């Protein structure tokens, strides 16, 4: 391909970057990078009513966090700017008027009331409403210009042929074609002078020399109409890759309360629906906040609807993806988002971190409950790394080190080692004086001295070690055994907890 590949991610600033959006951004980035081309960020903010304050900055931030560096964009510049559509507002009317002159568009003065009336009439006849081209037929261009000069509000509509077919070629869906008679004369320029998405995407993709358009399949049915615009202008249309939605298996829920809607038997009702923030599905930001690694999220997202050819490998860094990505590996059927699978990826990525990288990532989470000056974080991290699935679990995994939890004597019961609360008490009374004697409070010394002493007690190793660990942690599951926990707690705290446990068993 001798033409430089230029792709664009074109989000509307309507909220958080949801995972479907992130996947579109990722595939768009990969497509450009694989061909050594340019990846562009464009902000599509012409629907000002839907704009959420702060959303633009969030897009920049999320893209940076994801590592999807764009070559051109609002905050990095480029030769094809501005990259925010409202800042391009003067560009669009010029092109719309060019279309009007060519007969591909016309001015429409119908008021909202008139249009509502037409819609009602159509619906009464059981027809789907589409604009009836009244202004095309009744208002000659010279009259339109006079009315506009006199200050009358107007919009510019696309003049879609009433017969014939409109179509386009999609890299995934092949040739897509519709009857023109099914298409509506969309508004291209609104009464406020701003373009609609329907117009701006075409003009901008052309002016920004975009070669590949990647976006969700929700645009599949409008794309023939966009192609009519390319034809009317005499422009070369881009290549299209429409991506199937990311779905999630869920239960039917009320949009507002987010509570399940039960059937008549009081059961939840399974549904497969689009991933949506509205129902509480996590955004990219949410996942980062919950302690998922961006590398794991990117890897997981890449495989949501795409598979590499000729390999079963599942682990790909962003650079690996650039090398192996191929648009022909994109799957036509919608993909299912599976949180457990993401968590599995995350745990694998955590396991593959260097100890130093793990410690850096884990420290802020551990510091929420532990004082780094009092606990050996380096040792704790060694114990935790293989057990961490998501960083947000860490505070709950180690909080017992900061404060001894209340626990029931039943916790001493262990079927495997046949430990009962009675045996536990015996074990604790046995081990207490031994521990008190130890001053070199290292895991090695604790281990060697206690293990050497157990045989003389007549108890099994487990019958001593299990109660000891329970007594000083109050937890059935801890990130390590009795000696590791005793070391992390320190001599004084271990002995204090042990005494309390013995008193509680009295
Ligand atoms: N602004 C559109 C959206 O956020 C983008 C569609 C496109 O990429 O053309 O859905």
> Of the listed 277, 294, 341, 460, which one is catalytic?
277
Residues 345 and 357 reside in one and the same domain: no
448 domain-assigned: yes
Residues 183 and 204 reside in one and the same domain: yes
**Tokens linked to 345:** 């990826």
State which of 7, 8, 12, 29 you would mutate to test the pocket of ligand 1, scoring each by most atoms of that ligand within 8 A of its C-beta. Answer: 12
What CATH number did the domain enclosing 490 receive?
A: 1.10.10.350
Phi, psi of 127 (to 5 degrees): -100, 155
Residues 97 and 239 reside in one and the same domain: yes
Q: Name the residue with tokens 């560009």.
A: 91
Of the three residues 349, 366, 389, the one that is the final residue of a domain is 349
pLDDT tens digits, one per residue of 6-50: 999 999 998 888 899 999 999 999 999 999 999 999 999 998 888
Where b means 16+ CB within 10 Å and e means fewer, 448-471 reads: eebeeebeeeebbeebbbbbbbbb
Do 158 and 225 contact (CB within 8 A), yes or no?
yes
To the query of whether residue 277 is one of the catalytic residues in this protein, the response is yes
Do 411 and 470 contact (CB within 8 A), yes or no?
yes
Q: What is the pLDDT of residue 101?
A: 94
122 domain-assigned: yes
Residues 427 and 447 reside in one and the same domain: yes
In 186-318, the DSSP E strands lie at 187-189, 212-216, 239-243, 246-251, 270-274
Residues 97 and 232 reside in one and the same domain: yes
Number of domain units in the chain: 4
**Tokens linked to 482:** 């009795």
31 domain-assigned: no
Residues 125 and 201 reside in one and the same domain: yes
The Cα 212–Cα 330 span in angstroms is 15
265 domain-assigned: no
Instruction: Identify the domain containing residue 177 by its residue range.
Output: 91-243
pLDDT tens digits, one per residue of 174-199: 999 999 999 999 999 999 999 999 99
Look at residue 316 and tell me whether its pLDDT is greater than 90.
yes
**Pocket around ligand 1: residues whose beta carbon is below 6 Å from it?**
10-12, 44, 197, 201, 215, 219
392 domain-assigned: yes
Binning pLDDT at 50, 70 and 90, where does residue 127 land?
A: confident
For the chain, what is the mean pLDDT?
A: 94
Residues 152 and 280 reside in one and the same domain: no
CA atoms 458, 462, 465, 469: torsion sign: negative
Question: Residue range 282-310: average pLDDT?
Answer: 94
Q: What is the pLDDT of residue 135?
A: 96
Residues 341 and 475 reside in one and the same domain: no
Full DSSP string of 103-131:
TSEEEE---HHHHHHHHHHHHHTTPPP--
Residues 379 and 422 reside in one and the same domain: no
* Ligand 1 atom showing the smallest separation from residue 44 Cα: 1
Residues forming a β-bridge with 251? 270
Q: Choose the weakest-confidence range: 271-280, 312-321, 478-487.
A: 271-280
Of the three residues 196, 223, 243, the one that is the final residue of a domain is 243
Binning pLDDT at 50, 70 and 90, where does residue 2 land?
A: low
Question: Residue range 70-87: average pLDDT?
Answer: 96
* Ligand 1 atom showing the smallest separation from residue 218 Cα: 10
What CATH number did the domain enclosing 214 receive?
A: 3.40.50.620
Q: What is the pLDDT of residue 17?
A: 87
pTM for the whole structure: 0.90
Residues 311 and 441 reside in one and the same domain: no
Biggest CA pair distance of the chain: 109
């Amino acid at each position: 391909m001798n033409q430089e590949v230029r792709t664009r991610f074109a989000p509307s600033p309507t909220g958080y970057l949801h995972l479907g959006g992130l996947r579109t951004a990722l595939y768009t980035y990969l497509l450009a990078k694989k061909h050594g081309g340019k990846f562009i960020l464009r902000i599509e903010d012409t629907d000002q009513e839907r704009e959420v304050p702060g959303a633009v900055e969030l897009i920049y931030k999320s893209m940076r966090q994801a590592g999807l560096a764009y070559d051109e964009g609002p905050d990095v510049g480029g030769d094809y700017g501005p990259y925010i559509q409202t800042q391009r507002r003067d560009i669009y009317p010029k092109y719309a008027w060019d279309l009007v002159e060519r007969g591909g568009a016309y001015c429409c003065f119908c008021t909202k009331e008139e249009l509502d009336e037409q819609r009602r009439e159509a619906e009464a006849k059981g027809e789907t409403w589409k604009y009836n081209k009244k202004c095309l037929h009744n208002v000659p261009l010279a009259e339109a210009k006079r009315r506009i000069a006199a200050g009358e509000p107007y919009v510019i509509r696309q003049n879609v042929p009433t017969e014939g077919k409109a179509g386009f070629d999609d890299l995934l869906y092949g040739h897509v074609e519709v009857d023109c008679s099914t298409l509506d004369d969309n508004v291209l320029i609104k009464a406020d002078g701003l373009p609609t998405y329907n117009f701006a995407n075409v003009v901008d993709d052309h002016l920004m020399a975009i070669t590949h358009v990647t976006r969700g399949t929700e645009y599949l049915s409008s794309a023939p109409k966009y192609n009519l615009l390319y034809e009317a202008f005499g422009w070369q249309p881009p290549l299209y890759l429409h991506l199937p939605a990311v779905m999630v298996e869920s239960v039917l829920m009320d949009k507002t309360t987010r509570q399940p809607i039960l059937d008549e038997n009081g059961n939840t009702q399974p549904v497969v629906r689009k991933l949506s923030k509205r129902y509480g599905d996590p955004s990219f930001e949410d996942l980062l906040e919950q302690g998922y690694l961006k590398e794991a999220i990117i890897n997981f997202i890449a495989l949501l609807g795409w598979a590499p050819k000729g390999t079963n490998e599942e682990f790909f860094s962003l650079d690996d993806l650039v090398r192996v990505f191929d648009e022909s590996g994109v799957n036509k059927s919608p993909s299912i988002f599976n949180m457990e699978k993401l968590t599995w990826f995350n745990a694998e990525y955590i396991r593959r971190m260097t100890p130093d990288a793990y410690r850096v990532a884990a420290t802020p989470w551990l510091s929420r409950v532990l004082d780094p000056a009092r606990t050996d974080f380096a040792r704790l991290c060694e114990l935790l790394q293989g057990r961490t699935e998501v960083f947000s679990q860490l505070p709950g995994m180690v909080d017992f080190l900061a404060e001894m939890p209340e626990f029931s004597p039943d916790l001493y019961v262990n079927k495997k080692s046949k430990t009962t609360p009675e045996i536990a008490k015996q074990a604790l009374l046995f081990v207490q004086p031994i521990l008190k004697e130890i001053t070199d409070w290292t895991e090695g010394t604790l281990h060697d001295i206690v293990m050497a002493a157990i045989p003389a007690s007549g108890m099994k190793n487990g019958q001593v070690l299990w109660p000891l660990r329970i007594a000083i942690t109050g937890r059935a599951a801890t990130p390590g055994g009795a000696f590791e926990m005793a070391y992390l707690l320190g001599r004084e705290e271990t002995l204090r907890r042990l005494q309390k446990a013995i008193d509680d068993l009295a």
